[in-house]
Protein backbone atom coordinates (compact mmCIF):
# COMPACT_ATOMS: atom_id res chain seq x y z
CA UNK A 1 0.00 0.00 0.00
CA UNK A 2 1.51 3.36 -1.00
CA UNK A 3 2.34 5.62 1.90
CA UNK A 4 1.29 8.66 -0.08
CA UNK A 5 -1.60 9.63 -2.38
CA UNK A 6 0.27 8.61 -5.54
CA UNK A 7 -0.10 4.98 -6.68
CA UNK A 8 3.11 2.92 -6.63
CA UNK A 9 5.17 2.93 -9.81
CA UNK A 10 6.35 -0.23 -11.62
CA UNK A 11 9.99 -0.85 -12.52
CA UNK A 12 11.56 -3.72 -14.45
CA UNK A 13 14.78 -5.32 -13.25
CA UNK A 14 16.31 -7.71 -15.80
CA UNK A 15 19.13 -9.98 -14.62
CA UNK A 16 21.33 -10.43 -17.70
CA UNK A 17 24.72 -11.28 -16.20
CA UNK A 18 24.71 -15.03 -16.81
CA UNK A 19 27.11 -16.93 -19.05
CA UNK A 20 24.64 -19.38 -20.59
CA UNK A 21 26.65 -22.51 -19.69
CA UNK A 22 23.80 -24.89 -20.65
CA UNK A 23 23.47 -23.16 -24.03
CA UNK A 24 27.21 -23.63 -24.58
CA UNK A 25 27.19 -21.10 -27.40
CA UNK A 26 30.47 -19.28 -26.77
CA UNK A 27 28.48 -16.02 -26.48
CA UNK A 28 26.33 -15.36 -23.39
CA UNK A 29 22.91 -16.62 -24.50
CA UNK A 30 21.13 -13.31 -23.79
CA UNK A 31 23.02 -11.86 -26.77
CA UNK A 32 22.33 -14.69 -29.23
CA UNK A 33 20.26 -13.57 -32.24
CA UNK A 34 16.60 -14.56 -32.38
CA UNK A 35 15.00 -13.60 -35.70
CA UNK A 36 18.10 -11.49 -36.30
CA UNK A 37 17.82 -9.48 -33.06
CA UNK A 38 19.70 -10.14 -29.79
CA UNK A 39 17.58 -12.06 -27.27
CA UNK A 40 17.93 -9.31 -24.67
CA UNK A 41 16.64 -6.72 -27.13
CA UNK A 42 13.39 -8.69 -27.53
CA UNK A 43 13.06 -8.79 -23.74
CA UNK A 44 13.73 -5.06 -23.36
CA UNK A 45 11.14 -4.26 -26.04
CA UNK A 46 8.40 -6.01 -24.05
CA UNK A 47 8.93 -3.54 -21.17
CA UNK A 48 9.55 -0.54 -23.44
CA UNK A 49 6.24 -1.38 -25.10
CA UNK A 50 4.30 -1.33 -21.83
CA UNK A 51 2.92 1.99 -20.64
CA UNK A 52 2.74 0.52 -17.13
CA UNK A 53 6.53 0.37 -16.71
CA UNK A 54 8.15 3.56 -15.42
CA UNK A 55 11.74 2.50 -16.15
CA UNK A 56 13.79 -0.61 -16.92
CA UNK A 57 17.07 -1.61 -15.30
CA UNK A 58 19.26 -4.35 -16.76
CA UNK A 59 22.02 -5.96 -14.72
CA UNK A 60 25.06 -7.16 -16.65
CA UNK A 61 28.45 -8.44 -15.59
CA UNK A 62 31.07 -5.75 -14.94
CA UNK A 63 33.12 -6.95 -17.93
CA UNK A 64 30.16 -7.33 -20.31
CA UNK A 65 31.33 -6.35 -23.80
CA UNK A 66 28.00 -6.68 -25.60
CA UNK A 67 25.42 -4.52 -23.81
CA UNK A 68 26.39 -1.19 -25.39
CA UNK A 69 25.20 -2.50 -28.77
CA UNK A 70 21.85 -3.61 -27.33
CA UNK A 71 20.51 -1.34 -24.61
CA UNK A 72 21.45 2.25 -25.48
CA UNK A 73 17.88 3.53 -25.51
CA UNK A 74 15.79 5.91 -23.42
CA UNK A 75 13.95 4.15 -20.62
CA UNK A 76 16.74 1.68 -19.93
CA UNK A 77 19.55 1.96 -17.38
CA UNK A 78 22.45 -0.51 -17.49
CA UNK A 79 23.86 -1.60 -14.13
CA UNK A 80 27.27 -3.26 -14.38
CA UNK A 81 26.90 -5.06 -11.05
CA UNK A 82 26.21 -8.68 -11.99
CA UNK A 83 27.30 -11.25 -9.44
CA UNK A 84 28.23 -14.94 -9.33
CA UNK A 85 24.60 -16.08 -9.06
CA UNK A 86 21.24 -14.84 -10.38
CA UNK A 87 20.27 -13.84 -6.84
CA UNK A 88 23.51 -11.88 -6.36
CA UNK A 89 22.89 -10.01 -9.60
CA UNK A 90 19.35 -9.11 -8.55
CA UNK A 91 20.37 -8.05 -5.04
CA UNK A 92 23.21 -5.93 -6.41
CA UNK A 93 20.80 -4.36 -8.88
CA UNK A 94 18.24 -3.56 -6.19
CA UNK A 95 20.89 -1.80 -4.13
CA UNK A 96 21.97 0.27 -7.15
CA UNK A 97 18.33 1.29 -7.76
CA UNK A 98 17.87 2.59 -4.20
CA UNK A 99 18.16 6.29 -5.07
CA UNK A 100 15.55 6.09 -7.84
CA UNK A 101 12.79 4.05 -6.21
CA UNK A 102 10.41 4.24 -3.25
CA UNK A 103 9.88 1.40 -0.80
CA UNK A 104 6.31 0.87 -1.97
CA UNK A 105 7.18 0.92 -5.68
CA UNK A 106 6.90 -2.45 -7.39
CA UNK A 107 9.79 -4.26 -9.03
CA UNK A 108 9.17 -6.80 -11.80
CA UNK A 109 12.18 -9.12 -11.93
CA UNK A 110 12.36 -10.78 -15.34
CA UNK A 111 14.93 -13.10 -16.88
CA UNK A 112 16.69 -11.71 -19.95
CA UNK A 113 16.40 -15.33 -21.13
CA UNK A 114 12.60 -15.06 -21.44
CA UNK A 115 12.29 -12.99 -24.65
CA UNK A 116 8.70 -14.04 -25.41
CA UNK A 117 7.22 -11.74 -22.75
CA UNK A 118 4.64 -9.25 -24.04
CA UNK A 119 3.03 -6.04 -22.74
CA UNK A 120 -0.23 -8.03 -22.40
CA UNK A 121 1.43 -10.52 -20.02
CA UNK A 122 3.00 -7.63 -18.06
CA UNK A 123 -0.46 -6.08 -17.66
CA UNK A 124 -1.96 -9.45 -16.67
CA UNK A 125 0.61 -9.80 -13.87
CA UNK A 126 0.24 -6.22 -12.60
CA UNK A 127 -3.57 -6.29 -12.66
CA UNK A 128 -3.77 -9.86 -11.35
CA UNK A 129 -1.54 -9.19 -8.35
CA UNK A 130 -3.05 -5.79 -7.57
CA UNK A 131 -1.98 -4.66 -4.11
CA UNK A 132 -1.47 -8.17 -2.72
CA UNK A 133 1.20 -7.66 -0.03
CA UNK A 134 3.13 -10.82 -0.98
CA UNK A 135 3.34 -9.88 -4.66
CA UNK A 136 3.07 -12.49 -7.38
CA UNK A 137 4.48 -14.12 -10.48
CA UNK A 138 3.54 -15.53 -13.84
CA UNK A 139 3.41 -19.32 -13.90
CA UNK A 140 1.87 -22.24 -15.81
CA UNK A 141 0.03 -25.27 -14.41
CA UNK A 142 1.81 -28.58 -14.98
CA UNK A 143 0.11 -30.56 -17.77
CA UNK A 144 2.43 -33.59 -17.96
CA UNK A 145 2.77 -36.42 -15.48
CA UNK A 146 5.66 -35.74 -13.10
CA UNK A 147 8.16 -38.44 -12.15
CA UNK A 148 10.79 -38.30 -9.43
CA UNK A 149 13.97 -39.92 -10.71
CA UNK A 150 16.32 -42.16 -8.79
CA UNK A 151 17.65 -45.35 -10.26
CA UNK A 152 14.66 -45.28 -12.61
CA UNK A 153 11.35 -43.91 -11.41
CA UNK A 154 11.17 -43.40 -7.65
CA UNK A 155 7.56 -42.23 -7.65
CA UNK A 156 4.97 -40.24 -9.57
CA UNK A 157 4.48 -36.79 -8.06
CA UNK A 158 0.78 -35.79 -7.89
CA UNK A 159 0.52 -32.88 -10.30
CA UNK A 160 -2.66 -31.30 -8.91
CA UNK A 161 -1.74 -27.81 -7.74
CA UNK A 162 1.76 -27.93 -9.31
CA UNK A 163 2.72 -24.88 -11.36
CA UNK A 164 5.95 -24.00 -13.18
CA UNK A 165 7.26 -20.55 -12.19
CA UNK A 166 8.00 -18.03 -14.90
CA UNK A 167 9.00 -14.39 -14.62
CA UNK A 168 8.30 -11.49 -14.13
CA UNK A 169 8.01 -11.95 -10.43
CA UNK A 170 6.68 -8.75 -8.86
CA UNK A 171 7.14 -7.47 -5.31
CA UNK A 172 7.43 -4.17 -3.53
CA UNK A 173 10.98 -2.87 -3.52
CA UNK A 174 11.27 -2.96 0.26
CA UNK A 175 9.89 -6.50 0.59
CA UNK A 176 12.09 -7.93 -2.17
CA UNK A 177 15.22 -6.25 -0.82
CA UNK A 178 14.46 -7.51 2.70
CA UNK A 179 13.68 -11.04 1.51
CA UNK A 180 16.80 -11.45 -0.61
CA UNK A 181 19.04 -9.78 1.98
CA UNK A 182 17.80 -12.10 4.73
CA UNK A 183 17.56 -15.32 2.72
CA UNK A 184 19.46 -17.98 4.72
CA UNK A 185 21.27 -19.11 1.55
CA UNK A 186 20.35 -16.76 -1.29
CA UNK A 187 22.39 -18.85 -3.69
CA UNK A 188 20.33 -21.95 -2.95
CA UNK A 189 17.11 -20.31 -4.12
CA UNK A 190 16.40 -20.23 -7.83
CA UNK A 191 13.63 -17.65 -7.96
CA UNK A 192 12.72 -14.48 -6.09
CA UNK A 193 9.36 -15.78 -4.89
CA UNK A 194 11.19 -18.46 -2.87
CA UNK A 195 12.75 -15.73 -0.73
CA UNK A 196 9.32 -14.18 -0.12
CA UNK A 197 7.91 -17.59 0.79
CA UNK A 198 10.79 -18.03 3.27
CA UNK A 199 9.32 -15.04 5.12
CA UNK A 200 6.07 -16.99 5.48
CA UNK A 201 4.28 -15.03 2.74
CA UNK A 202 2.33 -16.42 -0.21
CA UNK A 203 2.78 -14.70 -3.58
CA UNK A 204 -0.08 -14.92 -6.09
CA UNK A 205 0.26 -17.13 -9.15
CA UNK A 206 -0.99 -15.50 -12.37
CA UNK A 207 -1.29 -17.68 -15.48
CA UNK A 208 1.44 -16.85 -17.97
CA UNK A 209 1.96 -18.31 -21.45
CA UNK A 210 4.22 -20.95 -23.02
CA UNK A 211 5.69 -18.21 -25.24
CA UNK A 212 7.24 -16.78 -22.08
CA UNK A 213 9.57 -19.79 -21.96
CA UNK A 214 13.10 -19.59 -20.62
CA UNK A 215 15.66 -20.07 -23.39
CA UNK A 216 18.11 -22.45 -21.71
CA UNK A 217 19.22 -25.15 -24.16
CA UNK A 218 20.15 -25.02 -27.86
CA UNK A 219 16.87 -26.75 -28.74
CA UNK A 220 14.97 -23.80 -27.21
CA UNK A 221 16.18 -21.30 -29.84
CA UNK A 222 13.89 -22.34 -32.69
CA UNK A 223 10.90 -22.68 -30.39
CA UNK A 224 11.49 -19.20 -29.02
CA UNK A 225 11.79 -17.82 -32.58
CA UNK A 226 8.49 -19.46 -33.48
CA UNK A 227 6.75 -17.65 -30.63
CA UNK A 228 8.50 -14.36 -31.42
CA UNK A 229 7.30 -14.61 -35.01
CA UNK A 230 3.75 -14.98 -33.68
CA UNK A 231 3.10 -11.44 -32.46
CA UNK A 232 0.33 -11.41 -29.83
Ligand X SMILES: C[C@](O)(CO)[C@H](O)COP(=O)(O)O
Ligand Y SMILES: Nc1ccn([C@@H]2O[C@H](COP(=O)(O)OP(=O)(O)OP(=O)(O)O)[C@@H](O)[C@H]2O)c(=O)n1
How far is the C-alpha of 31 from the C-alpha of 123, rounded, in Å?
Answer: 26
Cβ within 8 Å of residue 172, ≥6 positions away = 8, 103, 104, 105, 106, 107, 133, 135
Determine, following the binding rule CB under 6 A, whether residue 172 of this chain makes contact with ligand X: no
Determine, following the binding rule CB under 6 A, whether residue 113 of this chain makes contact with ligand Y: yes
Determine, following the binding rule CB under 6 A, whether residue 167 of this chain makes contact with ligand X: yes
- Which of ligand Y, ligand X, none interacts with 85 (beta carbon under 5 to 8 A by kind)? ligand Y
Q: Which of 111, 172, 175, 180 binds ligand X (CB under 6 A)?
A: 111
Interaction mask 189-218, ligand X, x per CB under 6 A: -xx----------------------x----
Q: Which of 20, 116, 135, 168 binds ligand Y (CB under 6 A)?
A: 20
Q: Applying CB under 6 A, which part among 54-62, 154-162, 164-172, 198-206 lies near ligand X? A: 164-172
Q: How many residues in total does the chain contain? A: 232
Determine, following the binding rule CB under 6 A, whether residue 104 of this chain makes contact with ligand X: no
Determine, following the binding rule CB under 6 A, whether residue 84 of this chain makes contact with ligand Y: yes
Minimum separation from the CB atom of position 161 to ligand X (A):
17
Cβ within 8 Å of residue 53, ≥6 positions away = 10, 11, 12, 47, 108, 122
Q: Which of 17, 94, 129, 224 binds ligand Y (CB under 6 A)?
A: 17
Contacts with ligand Y, residue ranges (CB under 6 A): 15-23, 29-30, 59, 82-86, 89, 111-113, 214, 216
Amino acid sequence: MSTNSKPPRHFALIPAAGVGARMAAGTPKQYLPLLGKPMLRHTLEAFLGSELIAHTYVVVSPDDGYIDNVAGVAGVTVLRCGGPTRMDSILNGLREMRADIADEDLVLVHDAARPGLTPRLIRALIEGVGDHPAGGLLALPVVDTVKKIGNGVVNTVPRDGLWLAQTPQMFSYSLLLRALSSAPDANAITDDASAIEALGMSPKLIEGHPRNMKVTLPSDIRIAEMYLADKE
